[in-house]
Structure 1
Amino acid sequence: MLTKPRVTQLAVFCAVIGMFLAVPGLPDPATVALATLGIWLLAAAAFAINCLIEQEVDARMLRTARRATARGTITAPQVLGLSGLLGGAGMMVLYHGVNPLTMWLTFATFVGYAIIYTVILKPRTPQNIVIGGLSGAMPPALGWAAVANAVPAEAWVLVLIIFIWTPPHFWALALYRNHDYANAGLPMLPVTHGEKFTRLHILLYSVALLATTLLPYIIRMSGLLYLAAALALGGRFLYMAWRLYQEYSDALARQLFRYSILYLALLFGALLLDHWLQLL
């Protein structure tokens, strides 16, 4: 639970997509396996540190009160030991088994999430998700760097898509968990600016997301199959955001949050499928 495996899975999946998009054919299987392992280990280490730093906040939230750090059933030295072991192993795997660039980029992502986002941004600004979203958006660049030992513009387009996707994804959760965040004292947007303001920003970011997902086609990184998928998936995302804006309910917010996870997985899956079809 400390390493948040379900959240890590989506991040690692996006990193793997970056690996497969980085080369015309299939990437080296050993590199893919080692990079996946290293990125997963460092992500798990970052989440463990996040749980330790937020143990008092988590104890006041229904969604997170069952975490071992929140209940006090695991000590700070134990969490630090776990995080150090996982993070150190991940850095070793990436440095010696992949390349130093991937290790340093992944380590910077670890610092960005565990320290800059968790310690500095999250408790101080309602824009925490927007600013801190860069750390969560980095996996495609990490995967690309692992295979190509470089991070070209195409990789940053993928990062930008996740960066724009993050606010509406998390704000949908924050809407139906509003009281939880208020009790915890966290300045999430629905707490500081209200429900209607948050719904408007979800809608605006959904429009920006649909436009951003067209970039791979515009720069000829992908073809018509991806374009069709981006329009269909993005159109549904925008429709759900519009419904949420028009008339709020916890059920609609929950639906949008759950769909946003499926949306990102299907969008990146379509990008990979399109990439392979272009090679045939």
Structure 2
Amino acid sequence: MIKKFIYLTKPGIIFGNFISVMGGFFLASQGNIDLWLLLVTLLGTSLVVASGCVVNNIIDQDIDVKMERTRNRALVKKSVSNTAAFIYAAVLGVFGFALLYFFTNLLAVAFAAFGFFVYVVLYSLYLKRHSIHQTLVGSLSGACPPVIGYCAVANQFDVGALILFILFCIWQMPHSFAIAIFRLNDYVSARIPVLPAKKGIYITKLQSAVYVLLFMLTGSLLYVFHYVGLIYLIIFAGLCAYWLYLAVSGFKAIDDRVWARRFFLFSVILITVFSIVISIDYQLQPSYGFIFKL
């Protein structure tokens, strides 16, 4: 039974966000690490994300039952009740927001609340079922964790935080498109209006390649504004070059599902390495314009 409740939180998503929070946190810390602040920021953000994922499971039951990869989830199988799941989500959310509120700052809390609202209300309740733009709006939620980590340290929303936010929004587009292609039959069965189902796989691949280019350009801004060093730029450029190669090779792919899986897996590797590198190759820099504080 414990395992069923753990899986309701979507551990894979939590782990990915855990890494991105660390990246933002270490980038803002510039080598001066507050271990207690890091711990509460990671735990608080993870609990908020977990809460949102449980609520998403509750909302998506009618969709999950139609999809091969989700039809055995605990709520679909009724091995966990809706009431128990709601209570579980509420406890996770309350503890998560409490940790961020009492031990970080209001800016970090605000981004956690924004991400939760976008994912649960805008994405899960409406856009996932009704709009082809679901991925774009949902990316706003996925871009919040690294900004939470950054703002927990800096207590301001500056150019560095803005670049991280835009960068993670862009990254999620080709990442999600790859999932949509790989699981296209599931999405069609559940009548979810993902891009490849509505506009075709070719258009999806084309947009993926464009987003990879935008990701490369945006990530380079961290070097331009002196947040990271040359080591970061070299590694980042190499990763993006290979991701772009994969994107372009998709136009000649014999099996779209095989290509999409490969493209997706590398996107995970890329963002993980990115988060690690910005944690290590940081630069001591002044704050640049566009500062917002709470």
TM-score by length of 2: 0.91
Q: Does 1:98 align with 2:104?
A: yes
1:261 — aligned with what? 268
The runs of 5 or more residues in structure 2 that have no matched partner are: 1-6, 286-294
Picking from 88, 92, 117, the partner of 1:86 is: 92
2:152 — aligned with what? 146
Greater than 6 Å deviation, 4+ residue runs: none
Picking from 66, 72, 75, the partner of 1:69 is: 75
Deviation at 1:276, TM superposition (A): 6.8
Q: Does 1:55 align with 2:37?
A: no
Q: Does 1:201 align with 2:207?
A: yes
- Per-residue CA deviation, residues 129-178 of structure 1 (Å, 9 max, x unaligned), is 11221110111110112122222110110111111111100111111211
Deviation at 1:191, TM superposition (A): 0.7
Distance in 2, Cα, partners of 1:16 & 1:160: 17
1:27 — aligned with what? 33
Deviation at 1:52, TM superposition (A): 0.4
The runs of 5 or more residues in structure 1 that have no matched partner are: none
Picking from 274, 279, 282, the partner of 1:275 is: 282
2:114 — aligned with what? 108
Q: Is residue 168–residue 206 contact of structure 1 (8 Å, CA) maintained in 2?
A: yes
Deviation at 1:25, TM superposition (A): 2.7
- Per-residue CA deviation, residues 239-258 of structure 1 (Å, 9 max, x unaligned), is 00001123352111100101
Deviation at 1:61, TM superposition (A): 0.6
Letter in 2 for 1:274: D
Q: Does 1:168 align with 2:168?
A: no
Distance in 2, Cα, partners of 1:151 & 1:70: 40
Distance in 2, Cα, partners of 1:212 & 1:276: 18
Q: Is residue 22–residue 275 contact of structure 2 (8 Å, CA) maintained in 1?
A: no
2:4 — aligned with what? none
Deviation at 1:54, TM superposition (A): 0.4
Distance in 1, Cα, partners of 2:254 & 2:223: 34
2:289 — aligned with what? none
Distance in 1, Cα, partners of 2:219 & 2:30: 21
Deviation at 1:75, TM superposition (A): 1.5
Q: Is residue 75–residue 81 contact of structure 2 (8 Å, CA) maintained in 1?
A: yes
Distance in 2, Cα, partners of 1:103 & 1:155: 15
Distance in 1, Cα, partners of 2:195 & 2:30: 42
Letter in 1 for 2:161: A
Distance in 2, Cα, partners of 1:163 & 1:104: 17
SS at match of 2:161: helix
2:258 — aligned with what? 251
Corresponding residue pairs, total: 278
Higher relative contact order (CA 8 A, sep 6+): 2
Q: 1:185 to 1:160 in 2, by over 3 A?
A: same
Q: Is residue 203–residue 245 contact of structure 1 (8 Å, CA) maintained in 2?
A: no
Deviation at 1:101, TM superposition (A): 2.6
- Per-residue CA deviation, residues 225-271 of structure 1 (Å, 9 max, x unaligned), is 01101110000100000011233521111001011001100112112
TM-score by length of 1: 0.95
Letter in 2 for 1:169: H
